[in-house]
Chains A and B, each alone.
Chain A
Amino acid sequence: MTATQSTETAGRAAAAVPAPTGAQDAALEQRRQSQRRLAQAPDLLTVRNLKMHFPVAEGALLPGVVAHVKAVDGISFTVRKGETLGLVGESGCGKTTTGRCILRLEHPSGGEILFDGKNLVDLDRKSMLALRQKIQVIFQDPYSSLNPRMKIGEIISEPMMVHRTEPNKAARDARVMELLRLCGLDPRFADRYPHEMSGGQRQRVGIARALSVRPEFIICDEAISALDVSIQAQIINLLEDLRDQFGLTYLFIAHDLSVVRHLCHRVAVMYLGKIVELAECDELYGNPLHPYTQALLGAVPVPDPDMEKARAYRIVKGEVPSPMNPPQGCVFHPRCPLAIESCAKNVPELRELRPGHWVACSVI
């Protein structure tokens, strides 16, 4: 059974009658097993002390660098083979920049990114190009990330031409058909243009393009945020099916915490260029330790009026400060309900407070 077939049948059955509890339980158990397996899996990507500081220049005639925007300021994490790591945070926290550094769309100011034993930060253009075949990306906006003048078939086969994975045209065309089917689209779409498709269909094309060169690692940068509610679940299921089928590893960058909870094995929470908390998914959502994570989770509205009315909202005050002039000490201290005097001076390190649960807070 292909990925899409299973999506459709599962969805149809669920629309008429709820899926039997047994099946869901079995699937959840399977997931727990894979989580245990993943704990032993080798690291595919290791990011160490990654920094991306953008210079800010002022002056019309002789521009001089007056400051730096510290978009990413010394973060470290690993992604194991077959794992989905969620990277969450509010706009401006540096999550997208982190993804762009891994793709080397930005040249990091410091730190290292190890993929397959190679440090991506040092690679020259040519070796990076070769490595990009293994690292692909799915973008947020399915409207601006597909070239409007290219047919769907051309869009999907372009990476195969760049990386010369399928040198002859017939093989490429066959692969395009296969990818379209895999992503739940009619193979006849190969002759259409992006404007003839809906947002959800375009995102499927974006996914097919990323898969075309058989990558190991895919960065999903807000890959479902721009889609309609009723389409989001379709794409989430597709991403899960593809992960299982091809053993893919994802870095899932998103701001929607309920989607991240559903899809990810481990989650890193970013705030102002730093990782403030990192843990296994159920651990992070069940037992958030950093005050910022608690605030983020507390702010997510749930579709249940009775529960919402009973719930005490703990809203964090204030706004995210500018990354050009971040607060001294802990970056969250001006908004933090637990802050004490020393938080304004000392930068908290990530500490392992429970097994596999890392938190950067000196108060808890």
Chain B
Amino acid sequence: MSKLLEIADLQTHFFTAAGVVKAVDGISYDVGQGETIAIVGESGCGKSVSALSILRLVADPPGRIVGGSIRFEGRDLLGLNDEEIRKVRGKDIAMVFQEPMTSLNPVLTIGRQLTETLEQHLDMTHEQAVARAIELLGLVGISDPKRRLKQYPHHFSGGMRQRVMIAMALCCEPKLIIADEPTTALDVTIQAQILELMKDLTRRLGVALIIITHNLGIVARYADRVNVMYAGKIIESGSAHDIYHHPCHPYTLALLRSVPRMDQPRRARLDPVQGQPPDLARLGAGCSFRPRCGFAVARCASEAPPLVRVDGGHHLAACWEAARVAGSPVEAA
């Protein structure tokens, strides 16, 4: 499978009064055609910034992409001028944001917001655009789409707005959709509806998907590959099976152990990840997970471990003690 998106050593830094915040600190991964990739991490680990960097949507100042490359179908997106990148946004790569409440324009009808993109990017006439918009709303499961087109976002519930966002993302038949916490603001039954819809549509239309989330459960069902981020770096990468059954980084292991799980007998106590998430403006030398790590050795304080292969396949981890971590069971007692 040829690679659709290749990210190499991407570095996005924020230049703030408190110092340089290395929100994304040298991450590399690629996305194949039609593949679903998950990026998992806690707030502040740089997962959203890494996605915004792909479309060059990071506010500058204070943020700036200071290094690396992002190749989409062989083209370096970082080398494009403003006009060229605007043509990529929405057309080749679309984005679905977390907040369906704030990412739609409240004073324009749903129909106008959908047809605008179609007329701009695909040079459709207004009539063609309306017909396509009706088709798209039907595709994402909105009943009576013709009437719905004339309504405003406040007439729609949260789940319905997220469906509209997905329709907008699909309208130019993009090759890649980046979904940043697409279901975090939604209720659990609606979340299941939206995720099934996204999985179904991306499979059917052959669209690649990057899902950014903090929810380990969501990722398990939908992702082909999972990248776990911590403090601006990918610390583990592998198939969903590798990550959930054979984690090789202490952070992944600790995260899996810390959540109460519906699929396992109830435990008497949870094993939390100790300590606080790090301050990205004040990272020291060595591994940034070291202060919270139960596996840390002397070397971790001085040398940051590189992301390296831990098996014969594509399972990568950035830990000096990966072999010891791999030997620990995921189910904590």
Which chain A residues have a beta carbon within 8 Å of chain B's beta carbons?
7-8, 10-12, 14-21, 23-24, 26-28, 30-31, 90-91, 198, 200-201, 228-234, 236-237, 240, 255, 257-259, 261-262, 281-282, 285, 295-309, 313, 315-317, 319-320
Contacts and interface: CB of A to CB of B under 8 A. Distances in A.
B46 to A, nearest CB: 14
Interface stretch (B85-93, B118-126, B168-176, B183-191): B183-191
Given A10-B271, A17-B328, A234-B272, A229 B294 contact: no
Interface residues on B, range: 35 or more
Contacts of B62: none
Contacts of A230: 42, 254-255, 258, 272-273, 277
A291 B295 CA distance: 45
Contacts of B276: 198, 200-201, 231
Interface of B: 42-43, 157, 159-160, 187-193, 195-196, 214-221, 223, 239-241, 244-245, 250, 254-263, 266-274, 276-277, 293-295, 328-329, 331-333
A325 to B, nearest CB: 14
A15 B188 contact: no
A300 B264 CA distance: 13
User: Top 10 nearest A-B pairs by Cβ distance?
Assistant: A15-B294, A27-B268, A301-B217, A233-B272, A14-B271, A230-B273, A262-B260, A305-B240, A90-B187, A308-B221
B258 A24 contact: no
A302 B192 contact: no
Given A19-B332, A90-B189, A258-B260, 6 more contacts: A24-B333, A229-B258, A295-B189, A299-B192, A302-B217, A319-B160
A174 B150 CA distance: 63
A259 B193 contact: no
Contacts of B244: 303-305
B221 A305 contact: yes
B263 A302 contact: yes
A49 to B, nearest CB: 27
B279 to A, nearest CB: 9
B2 to A, nearest CB: 25
Given A8-B274, A20-B333, A305-B221, A255 B263 contact: no
Contacts of A24: 267-269, 333
15 contacts: A11-B271, A15-B254, A90-B187, A90-B190, A231-B276, A257-B188, A258-B262, A281-B266, A282-B266, A300-B217, A302-B220, A302-B262, A303-B256, A309-B221, A320-B187
B333 A18 contact: yes
B114 to A, nearest CB: 21
A297 B271 contact: no
A33 to B, nearest CB: 12
Contacts of A240: 269
A257 B293 CA distance: 28
B272 A7 contact: yes
A285 B159 CA distance: 26
A31 B240 CA distance: 34
Contact of B221 (A27, A237, A301): A301
Contacts of B218: 301
A285 B271 contact: no
Contacts of B257: 14
B274 A258 contact: no
A233 B261 contact: no
A228 B277 contact: yes
Given A17-B328, A229-B258, A198 B277 contact: yes
A142 to B, nearest CB: 13
Nearest to B328: A18
A259 B332 contact: no
A285 B273 CA distance: 26
Contacts of B295: 15-16
A164 B217 CA distance: 47
Contacts of A10: 269, 271
Contact of B259 (A11, A233, A296): A233
B262 A316 contact: no
A162 to B, nearest CB: 31
B294 A12 contact: yes
A295 B258 CA distance: 25
A23 B268 CA distance: 9
Contacts of A317: 193
A292 to B, nearest CB: 9
Contacts of B240: 305
Contacts of A90: 187-190
Contacts of B262: 257-258, 261, 285, 297, 300, 302
Given A285-B262, A299-B188, A299-B189, A18 B332 contact: yes
B217 A303 contact: yes
Contact of B263 (A11, A298, A304): A304
A303 B270 contact: no
A307 B192 CA distance: 16
Contact of A319 (B157, B216, B258, B333): B157
User: Quick one: which of A90, A237, A285, A304 has the most chain B CB within 10 A?
Assistant: A304
B231 to A, nearest CB: 12
Contacts of B42: 228-230
Contacts of A259: 260
A28 B268 contact: yes
A8 B275 CA distance: 9
Contact of B333 (A19, A295, A297, A315): A19
Contact of A232 (B254, B256, B258, B271): B258
B257 to A, nearest CB: 7
A307 B245 CA distance: 11
B202 to A, nearest CB: 16
Nearest to A17: B328
Given A18-B333, A303-B220, A296 B189 contact: yes
B241 A306 contact: yes
A232 B277 CA distance: 12
